[in-house]
Structure 1
């Protein structure tokens, strides 16, 4: 079953989501959209400081975007929405690197919703302790406390520290102490700095950035097109991913659609799904098409083994999983296909169109409503027993790969990338045309 698409209509804004397990090229895709000009802002709509969106410019500069939007090198402002966990300490380090790359005042390009939850060293320490306690059943946490931030917010709604609290030192100190004490009582001593030291850094953050309310997005949308930049991938979604190897975040387009509606632009977002020509995963969990030989054939310049996440794993293109992702997203309007140089570098690269599971041929994974984690865990168990059973081999021509992926996922390919110095992109206002416009600039290899 193909992923559903909507009629193109007038899609003024662009919503970018990864249809895999992450690392497909969202950052470089957003960078390319912003380089085209006219973008009013990049809006981050999920995740937090654990995001790692690599952009390599034509002149060789490289930055891994975590909290700043991936249009920053083009001077495009970033809005961190209330769905994004904000880590001021990690943000400061990222700002320093952007300055070194020639962005004179990164904080001048940044605005943060007051209701965005804070990720603190206490969250990070607690999350790492939980992951260590899982032993061999580790979930593959990034170790940065983003999931723990969501966990605490759900458990203690109204007490969680937020970006807005950074403007009030007494309120901030009270909430940080309560957070530290609760987590210490539950897990034992936390390897984290004193509350007063955190508060000092956070009040400096509040002075450096613009803190906003819910009216900000409406103002930005009135100025021009917005690009909504997602984090991680749909196959890691908190409700639709393969539990328990998931994230505490909604990685579909849902948050972006909510923000657009609040900005008075409901239905005006083009849903752009990003996929590689092969499927990757960082850490444990199902990866049905995994092939260890691809690791040597397709080396990763910006991804590797992580202390908390684990190994960076590579498999052939998994049409079954990516079609499932498109379906649970509510459909995609268009695709960005990255790493189109890979089929030429790796002759054996293929597309898996069906699995064999317990003697059955499975071409489609059933999508269910959000909230049923037992159902998702059962699906995970089936996938851990699955093996590729039906293959397509498009060959080495990148055009054949674009055509095959677009056909399998049921959406037009509007953006292609073929390595660090070559890329092509369609004008998003001309959906349905097959003619590509060549461009040069930032790499779309992540």
Structure 2
């Protein structure tokens, strides 16, 4: 499951609904890290914003953090405490990178130094962890917690690289990371195959395709593959589920063609963040979402959330083309894979684009499915699983 926008489309509530509607062996996190903010509200009113645990945890569904997930043992401990310490439901791939306090501090310093030209960040060191891992073969990984000597050596190397910080104690970090290793089950790469063989699994993505490290509007992107590419490396066959809202949102800096601050759009779980910046909302951007579908290699099904909102916001519309200085533009053409210069060019163009053709559909579900070329199989009319409607795709039993 991937978000076809800039994130915040409702991945948490969709995963919760999937776990409520049928037996699920496990939820597998396949990208991102502790910066996820996936909200789940149970019919009882219990609410949790998931960061690293899978969004099926409140229903007792196990979580597996794959090798593509950046794991932050310190923030994980805080999340676990808020959930009642369900470490028995958690497994972590031994090759998953570990985010440290030095990565987080370096990330925040780098973003502050950009001043008004901030890229947009959660300030949790996810990108810094990935960058460090690309240039250091000895970057800490989850399996290192099984060897105290190796763990200390690798954490000390991170401290040496970034420089000692009086607010960060190496001894304390080592102790917390060792406690993490004792609380969770660290497993090998074959564990994914075992889970898949034992029953249906849900792959829970983080952030959105329009923030993808290679396909998003560079440099306002994430150091994470937000498409289905990581899932394809873990599972040979799967249903590609794309998630969108009835309106488009973006947290932080970067192009957002259909943003409209005059719309009274509700947002109980998002606001201005210290590092992310302002939360913006606007009309459904079919042009950008079609691009997301295309660079994902297509989607099999769609989940549409916030279907209760259009009735309360009469000015909300669907945008099917852009106006770029008098020229109509209804398709964002994908560039060569990993061509960041091309993506930066798109960023420049999108910053100048404005909404072109717009309309207000009578049937939001049908219109979104038609525009994005896939059937809507899950409709969300509210925050809980009870507010979801599962719709059979045409031609299915």
Residue number among 353, 366, 369 corresponding to 2:320 in the alignment? 353
Contact 2:93 2:186 in 1 (8 A): yes
Q: Deviations over 1:31-70 (max 9, x none)?
A: 1101123111000000000000000111111000110000
Cα pair distance change 1:214/1:389, threshold 3 Å: same
Cα pair distance change 1:219/1:313, threshold 3 Å: same
Map of 1:410 onto structure 2: 373
**2:32 pairs with 1:47:** yes
**2:227 pairs with 1:252:** yes
* Map 1:311-326 → 2, pairs under 5 A: 311-326=278-293
Residue number among 99, 104, 120 corresponding to 1:140 in the alignment? 120
**2:11 pairs with 1:31:** no
Once residues 287 and 228 of structure 1 are traced to their aligned partners in structure 2, the CA distance between those partners, rounded to angstroms, is 27
TM-score by length of 1: 0.87
Map of 1:61 onto structure 2: 46
Q: How much has 1:369 moved relative to structure 2?
A: 2.6
Contact 1:276 1:337 in 2 (8 A): yes
* Structure with larger RCO (C-alpha < 8 A, sep 6+): 1
Contact 1:125 1:192 in 2 (8 A): no
Query: Helix, strand or coil for the counterpart of 2:321?
Result: strand
Q: How much has 1:88 moved relative to structure 2?
A: 0.6
Query: Helix, strand or coil for the counterpart of 2:302?
Result: strand
Query: Helix, strand or coil for the counterpart of 1:144?
Result: coil
Q: Deviations over 1:155-212 (max 9, x none)?
A: 21x210011111111111111111111122xxxx646421110000010110110000
Map of 1:424 onto structure 2: 388
**2:300 pairs with 1:338:** no
Q: Which runs of 5+ in 2 are unaligned?
A: none
Contact 2:13 2:383 in 1 (8 A): no
Map of 1:441 onto structure 2: none
Q: Deviations over 1:385-437 (max 9, x none)?
A: 00001012114xxxx0000000000000000011235533336xx532699xx
Query: Helix, strand or coil for the counterpart of 1:384?
Result: helix
Dislocated runs of 4+, deviation >6 Å: none
Map of 1:283 onto structure 2: 252
Residue number among 107, 122, 128 corresponding to 1:127 in the alignment? 107
Once residues 26 and 396 of structure 2 are traced to their aligned partners in structure 1, the CA distance between those partners, rounded to angstroms, is 28
**2:62 pairs with 1:98:** no
Cα pair distance change 1:220/1:434, threshold 3 Å: closer
Contact 2:380 2:387 in 1 (8 A): yes
Query: Helix, strand or coil for the counterpart of 1:227?
Result: strand
Once residues 79 and 290 of structure 1 are traced to their aligned partners in structure 2, the CA distance between those partners, rounded to angstroms, is 36
Count of paired positions: 396
Residue number among 200, 206, 221 corresponding to 1:225 in the alignment? 200
Once residues 254 and 287 of structure 1 are traced to their aligned partners in structure 2, the CA distance between those partners, rounded to angstroms, is 25
Q: Which runs of 5+ in 1 are unaligned?
A: 1-15, 100-104, 261-265, 436-446
Once residues 24 and 433 of structure 1 are traced to their aligned partners in structure 2, the CA distance between those partners, rounded to angstroms, is 27
Once residues 228 and 192 of structure 1 are traced to their aligned partners in structure 2, the CA distance between those partners, rounded to angstroms, is 37
Query: Helix, strand or coil for the counterpart of 1:270?
Result: coil
Map of 2:296 onto structure 1: 329
